[in-house]
Amino acid sequence: MLERNMTVEAAVMENPKVLQELQKLGAEYDFIAMESLEDALKSLGENCDAFIKRVEGQSDFKDMDRVRKMNKEELIHYIVDEIHPYELATTEKIDEIFRGAIKKYYRERGEQLFVIYEVLLLIKAELVSHFSSEEEFEFKDALAGKDVDFENLLAEHEKTIGLFDRIKYLTRDYKMNAEEPEIKELNKLMGELDEDMRRHIYIENEILFKM
């Protein structure tokens, strides 16, 4: 499985198709072999998540045909009215299940669950702060036709993806080994939230911020 923070060399060893795709982008392998895959792709003007999906033969994010037809105003309202509420509600639901699971299974797997839960709390705090800032400042200015500097949001997106990469690693790609129904539900919900968040960030970074 390819990861954003692995070196290009490690990524090529993991999946030889990485080298072919990098060469199509004009990359010189010898010069970027020791860089992280994410940094190398950034220097080539390529989105890391989209690249990984393409190399691993995964389909595009869901409903992107509709998203790509939206103008700036429609896209901002879509993010604020649909994406933000869904992700906050899902995070809250995951939080609730985690707290119950830690209390119920603290003897068997309390330490493992709490380590993951700590990262979830960081994600939750980051999302609340990030969404409120977007809605109150950058998006309002964008709708008012003002020039907006999205650098802070881009940096926050990187931080958020880093947290999701961490929780993905801790849960073995959201496949925690367990028979407990709560753990199975956590695997499912965290995987769905991860996918939606990467789609959300792709929409903003690669579409909205370039309008």
- Contacts of range 179-186, beta carbons closer than 8 Å, 24 or more positions apart: 180/101, 180/105, 182/97, 182/100, 182/101, 182/104, 182/105, 183/101, 183/105, 183/109, 185/97, 186/94, 186/97, 186/98, 186/101
pLDDT in tens, 123-159: 999 999 999 999 999 999 999 999 999 999 999 999 9
Judge if 16 and 108 occupy the same domain: no
Judge if 177 and 96 occupy the same domain: yes
The count of domains in the chain is: 2
Judge if 119 and 158 occupy the same domain: yes
pTM for this entry: 0.76
* Residue 3 belongs to some domain of the structure: no
Neighbours of 141 (CB within 10 A): 13
Judge if 137 and 193 occupy the same domain: yes
* Residue 106 belongs to some domain of the structure: yes
Q: Domain span at residue 85?
A: 64-210
Judge if 47 and 85 occupy the same domain: no
pLDDT in tens, 58-72: 767 888 889 989 999
